[in-house]
Amino acid sequence: DSGVTQTPKHLITATGQRVTLRCSPRSGDLSVYWYQQSLDQGLQFLIQYYNGEERAKGNILERFSAQQFPDLHSELNLSSLELGDSALYFCASSPHTDKSTEAFFGQGTRLTVV
Partner 1 sequence: GQQVMQIPQYQHVQEGEDFTTYCNSSTTLSNIQWYKQRPGGHPVFLIQLVKSGEVKKQKRLTFQFGEAKKNSSLHITATQTTDVGTYFCATPNDYKLSFGAGTTVTVRA
* Interacting residues toward partner 1 by CB under 8 A: 2, 31, 33, 35, 42-43, 45, 48, 50, 55-56, 58, 90, 92, 94, 96, 101-108
Cα separation, 22 vs 100, whole angstroms: 24
Query: Closest approach of Cβ 68 to partner 1, in Å?
Result: 12
Nearer to partner 1, 51 or 80 (CB): 51
Query: Closest approach of Cβ 113 to partner 1, in Å?
Result: 20
Nearer to partner 1, 14 or 28 (CB): 28
Strand positions, DSSP E, the chain: 5-7, 10-13, 19-24, 31-37, 44-50, 53-57, 64-68, 74-78, 87-94, 104-105, 109-113
